[in-house]
Structure 1
Amino acid sequence: MSRRRLKSLLLPLLFPLLLLATSAQASDLKLAELMGLLAQTRSARATFVEQKFIAVLDKPVESSGELAFTAPDVLEKRTLQPKQEAITLRGNEITLERGKRSMIVSLQDYPDAAVFVESIRATLAGDQKALESVWRVEADGTLARWTLRLTPINANAYVSRIRMQGTRNDVKQIEIEQKDGDRSVMTITRLPQP
């Protein structure tokens, strides 16, 4: 599997899960407070609708499905429409499933993807310092309506910008812009805990 294909599969999985289950109590957004709340998340589930805007296509490609996170290191994206597929990250192992085909790869074989995964783990652990070692992080708004922007410190990074928007304890939208001009916009609806 090409590095580009792996990145295009992983990015929509990983970044929506960064802030899937945040909880808002205060009125002013402070990154440290947001990170602290993320560190308390043990598990979360959501549905998603994603539009991918690809330069060579006339209209966006739309998909939908489910997202899940279980602390400390299990992330899952199950696409249900238009075709069923699943991407599961468990530790340093990525399992890709489509139909009856399944492939397991190691993050060690994809160092670019590993940077993104470690950034997510730093976020979920509430480790602001580790996150800021890879990303320029900007947060604004209030916990009732907030925006988080991640810009890679490395100018050669595959992603040029990630913008997340949420209200209170829900992440509502995540937009990922790639260096090649392609982008994706994911709308997320958090599900109640069972």
Structure 2
Amino acid sequence: MKTRPLRPVRDGLRLVAGALLCSAGLLAQAAEWTPAVLLEQLAKQKSAQGTFVEKKYIALLDKPAESSGTLSFTAPDKLEKRTLKPKPELMKLDGNQLYIEQAGKAPMSIALGSYPEVAAFVDSIRATLAGDRKALEDNFRLALNGSAAQWKLILSPRYSRMSDVISRVEISGSQAEVQKVAFELPDGDRSEMLISRSKP
């Protein structure tokens, strides 16, 4: 029987993807809309901030759990998710370390190197932020649907060690605006995060 991954580590994955959305800037108009064009634009972003509203659909709950707060990204590997509602929580990814602070609990630090399958997932997201298509495709199958006016980037794990942690990631947007990231987990749970980028 497979053990479920630590909830804080899985939430850390959501943090990474949320920062991916937040970091996406203006997407250039192109005659052909391809993953290469999207990744090229992501590579230009050195920092970004935004707000999020996230809904988690968990089998044991009658209705989705909703949270909201702020996100920030600083290239190449600093990410922060600060939840403000329904209760304060802070998650920071700095290099290989995931830090978690929750009200009434002792701060927690997790070395991603202790979870190789999780580290592979995180590194692949970082490759997206860096615009490194080769590194991304080493771990994921990429599919970009639609056009610049309405597009969806789908990441599907190539290996079972990763699909045991995450089944699928979908990032969608319209024109220059990245609007949503959705996760599907192996146990049937899923989440959707809407991102609004803060203007300079």
TM-score over 0.5 for the alignment?
yes
1:9-63: per-residue Cα shift (whole Å, max 9, x none)? 2122011222322321214421111111111101011111100000111111000
Which of 68, 82, 88 lines up with 2:92 in the alignment? 88
Tell me the distance in 1 between the aligned counterparts of 2:151 and 2:190: 21
In structure 2, how many angstroms separate the alpha carbons of the residues matched to 1:138 and 1:44?
25
Partner Cα distance (1:37, 1:177) in 2: 26
Partners of 2:83 and 2:57 lie apart in 1 by 17
Q: Post-superposition, which runs of at least 4 consecutive aligned residues in structure 1 deviate over 4 A?
A: none
Q: Give the CA deviation at 1:112.
A: 2.2
Query: Could you tell me the TM-score, scaled by structure 1's length?
Result: 0.93
Is the contact made by 1:88 and 1:96 (CA closer than 8 Å) also made in structure 2?
yes
Map of 1:110 onto structure 2:
115
- TM-score scaled to structure 2, two decimals? 0.90
Equivalents in 1 of 2:133, 2:119: separation in Å?
Answer: 18
1:13 aligns with 2:20: no
Cα offset, 1:96, TM superposition? 0.6
Give the Cα separation in 2 of the matches to 1:43 and 1:191.
11
In the alignment, the residues of structure 1 paired with residue 119 and residue 136 of structure 2 have an alpha-carbon distance, to the nearest angstrom, of 13
Aligned pair partner of 1:125 in 126, 130, 140: 130
Higher mean alpha-carbon deviation, 176-185 vs 20-29, is at 20-29
Query: Do the aligned residues in 1 keep the contact of 2:139 with 2:159 (CA within 8 Å)?
Result: yes
| Percentage of identical aligned residues | 45
Give the equivalent residue in structure 2 for 1:172: 179
Q: Structure 2 residue aligned with 1:26, among 1, 25, 29?
A: 29
